[in-house]
Amino acid sequence: MTDVVKGISRRVIVVKSPDPRLFEQAIFIVKEEAFGKDGVTADQIIEEARRVAAGYVRRNSGLGRYFRKIPGVLYVLGGALLASICWILSTIG
């Protein structure tokens, strides 16, 4: 079921996708108090929306998608293995 908001004016930002393979546009509904709060400008809010959209694409496409599936312990073990190899090579040479 789709929620419908009637009679309320909303400020939205529509950002074109940095990678159209995933989505065409991202639509952000901005809180009314976001504009002008703590000196935040409209340009800063738009830039943040672009950054969020680009981050989503980065995390969900290409290698980022595969790296997220690797458990953290494997990163630790890989780092320990690399450090061991470097240590062995430094003692040999």
Each residue's pLDDT, cut to its tens digit, for the chain (93 residues) gives 555 556 566 788 888 887 777 778 888 888 877 776 677 888 888 888 889 888 887 777 666 566 667 787 887 888 899 998 988 888 886
Structural domain containing residue 83: 11-92
How many domains would you assign to the chain? 1
In a domain? residue 5: no
In a domain? residue 6: no
In a domain? residue 1: no
In a domain? residue 2: no
Model confidence, pTM: 0.53
In a domain? residue 4: no
How many helices (H) and strands (E) the chain has is answered by 3, 2
Write the CA distances from 34 to 7, 15, 16, 29, 93, integer angstroms.
Answer: 21, 17, 21, 11, 59
In a domain? residue 25: yes
